[in-house]
Chain A
Amino acid sequence: MAKNALLIDYEYCTGCHSCEVACRNEKSLKKGEWGIKLTEYGPLPLPGDKWDYHFVPIPTLRCDLCSNRVAAGDEPACVKHCLAFCMQYGTIEEMAQAAERLGNRVAIFVP
């Protein structure tokens, strides 16, 4: 069976924390426990009046890509609730194709 993955189009991740809270609900996690956690870099100035500022949520070992939800025909909780619609779920191959289409600043996690 093909392995599944989570894609983050971090050009558009706005750092809203919805993935963290949706995941905590889904997995009934307690204080200090996260199934996905946001990281922040910047803002730092770049030449040419540009700014380097990125959020990337990283799935932890608690992430099983919402196997129960997916088995019931739904999406992973983080993917569904992401305010920027910047997360996708599918096979590694599908995610690699999506990354190629999206171009820059894409991360693929295979938790």
Chain B
Amino acid sequence: MRMPKGEWKVGTKDDYYVRTSAWSAPGCHPVGCGLILHIEDGKLTGVEGDKDHPLTQGRLCPRCLALPEVVNHPDRILYPMKRARKDRGKNTWERITWDEALDLIVEKVEETRERYGYEGVHTFGGTGREATFYYPVLSYSVFQSPNVSTVISGDSCYGPRCMITNFILGTGYPEIDHAAYFPDRYDDPRFVLPEYVMVWGKNPIVSNPDGFFGHALIDMMKRGTKLITVDPRITWLASRAEITLQLRPGTDTALLMAMLNVVINEGLYDKEFVEKWCYGLEDLKERVQDMPPAKAAAITWVPEEKIIRAARVFAQAKSASIQWGLATEMSQNAVQTCQCILYLCALTGRIDAPGGISVGPKASLTGKWRYEQIKWVNPELIDKRIGNEEYPVSKSALTNCLADTVLDALEEEDLKIGMVWINSSNVWSCPGAVPERWLAALSRVEFIVAQDIFLTPANMSVADLVLPVSTFAEHDGLVLPHFGRNAPYLGAINKAVEVGEARSDFETVMALGKRLNPDAFPWETVEEFLDYSVYGNGFSFDDLRKMGQFQPDYSYYKYESGKLREDGEVGFDTVTGLFELRSLQFEAWGEDPLPYYQEPTFSPYATPDLAQDYPLVLTTGGRKYTSFHSEHRQVPTLREIDPWPIVQIHPDTAAKNGISDGDWVCIENQYGSCRQKAKLTYAVDPRVVHAEHAWWYPEQDMELPNQGGAFKSQINNLMPHFMTGKLYIGSPYKCLICRVTKVSGLDD
């Protein structure tokens, strides 16, 4: 099936095709992959790739291919449902109408405001999904509360990369240049193929992170791009890499400082760029003398000669880029890891160069509406935001509360949060460190609303009201890679079908907004809002539907043309106007302005006594093609492909511990334990194990206390609470210690 040019819907009333761009629900990043949906008699019956999509060109991953199994799943939440507070954890849901649900919410919001003030309503949002556009709006514009957050400890997902980029070079998200802005892609004469891509702490072909279509990397490899991978595991990409740096989890900053040491001491840096556009080289040079490659080799387990070779190859390549992943943020050294990656890109002259690091504007294609909604919160309340008093970074650098401080607030004896809204977050089955504490803390809250497509451990255990979310096949909307911070295209999400009374995140926000703060929602229909969002580009939402995707133009070397600064001056949008190799902003916060290595709090070197009991380094969270975090566990075909959580163990380590391939094992440390199935593989070092995250079992008893086996395989049982870096950012999700022992099963 191929959609005729300029059309987005063809066929008859009972049998038609709709072209759309994917986002969520079900959960995914904003890649906006191109799909053609087939609807027969009001039901989604088929999914095909859209060959006219500029990036995906007909290709689809198994999650989109299994979309009909999600949309038509018998366990979908189809209507608003409530239950008595005393029945939390029990399957005693009662179907109500949307009007009844909205009335109940308004009543509870007013009660909460009276008792605790506007700030007594807290909103949680799940990562990556379409909801990320609208849950902050729900908090600011609808509840007019400053209290909104994710659940992840140390805010260690994407936010730090954006924040650090903002202060060091003042741009949107730095992504590898993959010619995505150009209609004729790799053939555009302005584009230069990266000779090398360094893939740092990321497996993009599996995760399609934040809007980067991972297999674009394969397209470039076929054209000649070579890889350097930095990962504790031999991933498929590592197996195809020219240089594999298999480092000890959590030691990234040591490796980076050694590479900076080589690049600076051997004079391999781009002298013209550094002299003209960078601030602080001398200080950085002095600092990286602390980390000669031999020292880094002892820390990271990467041989000295490989560190030196990788640094030289990367610096001397005609064109090269780095793709940095979540792993850079999941240690207490996160800020410095991210800082060093940007420094390596800048010193080697890769910033905004063809085939280098593309940098986007801070917001694009849908205007500034989302960012301006904080105006509906009384400024005095901003100071009362959870954590603002004790943690100034939270106030000045983040647009949300630190999740750790929210858990602390929820555990306070004198609880000041009267109402919680959970938008598409499976709180303690997915990101939450200390999962049992999150359940206990949220159980104290007077009234909880949750939006999702399925019942999950989170909404089943603590919600008083659940609201159904529509899948992307069931609503109109917009999708922007990197949430607009470096968006090579804007895609139209087109409604193809209706299922139950499910509503999109925006539909729910607007319906409630019209009751609680109508001034913030001047639109009558969703389409009016979507028109308002895209008009700045000179077209309407209907025009965009017909285009499918809109690709804005791109220009390289924007710091030379004044396109990076609001005042139009050349340079970077930073305190000094330069790329800061020494960060004045970090210094103002009391952080070291220069990078430094910090050993993980728990490691064979930092805690040798503890390592007697827990001799293995534990890293977690590698992705599977068949799931998005805790989602898709109930989708038959995807679960058939990946039925159980897998912990990867080196065969020698397994033999020493009497573990065979396929055995259930207990993974345990000083904080807790969980059970996963062993896969023996040479992909990990004998001293390291890798465990999967966000596993639960929707086929099990969903009532409390079992709640879908939420704690049985949850690797975050082994995580500490609020153990972050100096700026309260970065938690050790990917660098803990553990032991593994054979057990007889999941429930042993």
Show the binding face of A for B, using Cβ within 8 Å: 11-12, 14-18, 20-22, 24-25, 31-32, 42-45, 49, 51-53, 55, 74, 80-86
**Chain B nearest Cβ from A106, distance in angstroms:** 13
CA distance A18 to B66 in the complex (A): 10
Contact: A44 with B60, CB < 8 Å? no
- Pairs A–B under 8 Å by Cβ, sample size 15: A14-B218, A16-B61, A16-B62, A17-B62, A17-B626, A18-B62, A20-B641, A22-B60, A31-B640, A51-B244, A55-B236, A80-B51, A80-B59, A85-B222, A86-B218
Q: From residue B119, how far is it (CB to closest CB) to chain A in Å?
A: 45
Q: With an 8 A cutoff between CB atoms, is B683 at the interface? A: yes
Q: Which chain A residues lie closer than 8 Å to B637 at the CB level?
A: 21, 24, 31
Contact code string B233-259 (vs A, CB < 8 Å = 1, else 0): 010101110001000000000000000
Contact A81 B65 (CB under 8 A): yes
Contact with A along B655-691 (1 / 0, CB 8 A): 0000000000000000000000000011100000000
**Residues of the A chain whose Cβ atoms lie less than 8 Å from the Cβ of B157:** none
The reply to whether the CB of B621 lies closer than 8 angstroms to some CB of chain A is no
Nearest opposing residue in chain B for A54, CB measure? B239
Q: B682 contacts A25, CB within 8 Å?
A: no
Q: Contact partner of B239 among A21, A42, A81, A83, CB < 8 A?
A: A42
Contact partner of B236 (CB less than 8 A), chosen from A22, A49, A53, is A53
**A-B pairs with CB below 8 Å: how many?**
92
CB distance A43 to B682 under 8 Å?
yes
Complex formed: what's the CA distance from A83 to B61 in Å? 7
In the docked arrangement, what's the CA distance between A18 and B219, Å?
Answer: 17
1/0 per residue, CB under 8 A from A, across B356-375: the answer is 00000000000000000000
Complex-state Cα separation, A43 to B61, whole angstroms:
23
B-side contacts of A44, CB under 8 Å? 682
Q: Which of the residues B1, B68, B221 comes within 8 Å of A12, measured between beta carbons?
A: B221
Bound together, the chains give a CA A18 to CA B206 distance in angstroms of: 12
In angstroms, Cα B236 to Cα A83, docked, is 14
CB contacts under 8 Å to A, within B52-82, are 58-62, 65-66, 68
B61 to A18, Cβ gap below 8 A?
Answer: yes
Q: Say whether A51 contacts B636, CB under 8 Å.
A: no
Closest to A9 in B: B222
* The residue from A21, A52, A55 contacting B65, defined by CB atoms under 8 A apart: A21
**Please, which residue of chain B has its CB at the minimum distance from the CB of A51?**
B239
Contact across chains for A53 and B234 when beta carbons are under 8 A apart: yes
A16-B625, A51-B239 given; A43·B62 CB < 8 A? no
B49 proximal to A (CB < 8 A): yes
Contact B59 A18 (CB under 8 A): yes
Interface centre among A25, A42, A44 (most CB of B within 10 A): A25
How far does the alpha carbon of A16 sit from the alpha carbon of B65 in the complex, in Å?
Answer: 12
Closest residue on chain B to residue A24 by CB atoms: B637
Q: Does B260 contact A (CB under 8 A)?
A: no
Q: Which of B624-650 contact A (CB under 8 A)?
A: 625-626, 636-638, 640-641
Q: 8 Å CB contacts to A: which residues of B680-714?
A: 681-683
Contact status A85-B62, CB under 8 Å:
no
Query: Interface residues of B: mostly helix, strand, loop or mixed?
Result: mixed
Q: Which residues on the A side are within 8 Å of B62 (C-beta)? A: 16-18, 20-21
A25 touches which one: B1, B47, B51, B683 (CB < 8 A)? B47
Hey, which chain A residues are within 8 Å of B66, CB to CB?
21
Whether B546 is near chain A, meaning CB under 8 Å from some CB there, is no
How many Å lie between the Cα of A21 and that of B222 in the bound state?
Answer: 25
**Complexed CA–CA distance, A35 and B58 (Å):** 20
**In the complex, which residues of chain A have a beta carbon less than 8 angstroms from the beta carbon of B638?**
21
- C-alpha gap A82/B682 in the complex (Å): 27
Q: How far is the CA of A49 from the CA of B234 in the complex (A)?
A: 11
What is the minimal beta-carbon distance from A24 to any residue of chain B, in angstroms? 6
Query: Does B215 lie at the interface of the complex (its beta carbon under 8 Å from any beta carbon of A)?
Result: yes
Q: Which residues of A contact B65 (CB under 8 A)?
A: 18, 21-22, 25, 81
Interface status of B205 (Cβ within 8 A of chain A): yes
The residue that B641 contacts in the complex, of A17, A52, A81, A82, with Cβ under 8 A, is A17
Asked if B205 and A16 make an inter-chain contact with CB atoms under 8 angstroms apart, the answer reads yes
3 tightest A-B contacts by CB? A53-B239, A51-B239, A21-B65
Residue picked from B47, B236, B636, most chain A C-beta under 10 Å: B236
Instruction: Tell me, rounded to whole Å, the shortest Cβ–Cβ distance linking B630 to chain A.
Output: 19
Q: How far is the CA of A51 from the CA of B219 in the complex (A)?
A: 21
Given the contacts A21-B637, A45-B682, A51-B244, A81 and B238 also touching, CB distance less than 8 Å: no
B222 pairs with A12, CB closer than 8 A: yes
Q: Which residues of B contact A53 (CB under 8 A)?
A: 234, 236, 239
Instruction: Report Cα–Cα, A81/B66, bound state, in Å.
Output: 12
Residues on A with C-beta less than 8 A from B61 are: 16, 18, 83
Hey, which chain B residues are within 8 Å of A42, CB to CB? 239, 682
Q: Does B46 contact A (CB under 8 A)?
A: yes
Give B59's nearest chain A residue, CB to CB: A83
Closest residue of chain A to B233 (Cβ to Cβ) is A43
Given contacts A18-B65, A53-B234, 4 further A-B contacts (CB under 8 A): A18-B60, A22-B60, A43-B234, A51-B239
Distance A82 CA – B65 CA, assembled complex (angstroms): 11
| A49: nearest chain-B partner, CB-CB | B244
Q: Complex Cα distance A82/B222, Å? A: 15
The minimal Cβ–Cβ distance linking B343 to chain A, given in whole angstroms, is 27
Cα A53 to Cα B681 in complex, Å, equals 11
Q: Could you tell me the distance in whole angstroms from the C-beta of A101 to the nearest C-beta in chain B?
A: 12
B contact residues around A24 at 8 Å (CB) = 637
Which residues of chain B (212-234) have a CB below 8 Å from chain A? 214-215, 218-219, 221-222, 234
Given contacts A25-B65, A45-B682, contact A14 B49 (CB under 8 A): no
- Select one of B68, B205, B682 contacting A83, CB under 8 A: B205
Q: From A50, which residue of chain B is reached at the shortest CB distance?
A: B239
Are A81 and B49 in contact (CB-based, < 8 A)? yes
Q: How far is the CA of A85 from the CA of B218 in the complex (A)?
A: 9
CA distance A52 to B240 in the complex (A): 9
Residues in chain A near residue B206, CB distance under 8 A: 16
